[in-house]
């Protein structure tokens, strides 16, 4: 095993005894998650090309003040906080972006930068990650809108129909539903609705 690098007893950033290409794990997250973040931001702030026939972009649903009566910017900005908050505070995403973008730490058994006092998620701003369970409730509400949109995506002026967009919107909401209902925070909901002594599946 290689020796870990230390300077004056302080472990150097990135030092590790791992001999595998641990940094490779970071690349897909940087490319895919970073790329998605960039694309989603551009689309949300663009404020146009979000409806076509029976389809509506999920970034814009529910569509609020599309005609700019009181909101002069992209309608997506009005709802962005819900989905963004749910994703940003998700346990899985946290692990992914803490490693890939903050390098804190870059990977298991790889040193982070020294001299930083570890406070976990007990102080601002990371204490806000604990809002995840409340974003979960909001995400369930958003799912209702997305299911509604998916149903409408099969309704064409001539009646019922199936287009590529209908299938994409259906696949999108199905995947989002499975993602949302596999959330750790579902346990909080189950615990609150389960009568005492009834046991729990979670
Ligand atoms: S932990 Fe990932 S969605 Fe809740």
Q: Per residue in 151-185, pLDDT tens?
A: 999 999 999 999 999 999 999 999 999 999 999 99
- Nearest-CA neighbor of 173 among 87, 5, 61, 49? 61
The pLDDT mean for the chain works out to 90
**Atom 2 of ligand 1: nearest residue by CA position:** 90
Closest C-alpha residue for ligand 1 atom 3: 183
pLDDT digits (tens, 9 = 90+) for 60-80: 999 999 999 999 999 999 999
Q: 69 C-alpha vs ligand 1 centroid, how far in Å?
A: 35
Residues 114-152 have pLDDT tens digits of: 777 778 888 899 999 999 999 999 999 999 999 999 999
If one residue of 90, 98, 142, 189 were mutated to test the ligand 1 pocket, choosing by the most ligand atoms within 8 A of its CB, it would be 90
Residues near ligand 1 (Cβ within 6 A): 90-92, 132, 136, 183-185
User: How far, in Å, is the centroid of ligand 1 from the Cα of 80?
Assistant: 17
Q: What percent of the chain clears pLDDT 90, i.e. is strictly above it?
A: 76
Predicted confidence band of residue 200 (pLDDT cuts 50, 70, 90): low
In this prediction, residue 99 carries a pLDDT of 94
Say whether 88 sits in a helix, a strand or coil: helix
CA–CA distance, 63 with 146 (Å, rounded to integer): 11
Strand partners, 110: 16
Contact 116, 103 (CB under 8 A): no
* End-to-end CA gap in the chain: 40
pTM of the model: 0.86
pLDDT at 90: 97
Instruction: Count the Cβ atoms, other than its own, within 10 Å of residue 59.
Output: 20
Among left, alpha and beta (phi > 0; psi -120 to 50; other), residue 182 is alpha
pLDDT reading at 52 higher than 50: yes
């Amino acid at each position: 095993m290689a020796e870990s690098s230390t300077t004056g007893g302080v472990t150097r950033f990135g030092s590790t005894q791992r001999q595998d290409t641990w940094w490779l794990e970071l690349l897909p997250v940087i490319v895919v998650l970073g790329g998605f973040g960039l694309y989603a931001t551009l689309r949300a702030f663009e404020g146009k090309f979000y409806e076509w026939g029976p389809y509506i972009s999920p970034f814009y649903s529910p569509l609020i003040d599309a005609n700019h009566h009181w909101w002069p910017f992209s309608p997506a900005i009005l709802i962005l906080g819900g989905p963004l908050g749910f994703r940003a505070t998700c346990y899985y995403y946290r692990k992914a972006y803490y490693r890939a973008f903050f390098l804190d730490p870059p990977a298991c058994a790889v040193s982070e930068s020294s001299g930083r006092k570890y406070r976990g998620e007990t102080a601002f701003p990371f204490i806000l990650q604990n809002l995840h369970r409340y974003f979960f409730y909001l995400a369930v509400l958003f799912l209702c809108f997305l299911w509604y949109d998916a149903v409408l995506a099969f309704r064409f002026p001539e009646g019922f129909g199936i287009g590529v967009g209908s299938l994409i919107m259906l696949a999108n909401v199905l995947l989002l539903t499975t993602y949302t209902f596999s959330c750790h925070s579902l346990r909080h909901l189950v615990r609150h609705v389960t009568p005492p002594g009834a046991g729990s599946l979670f």
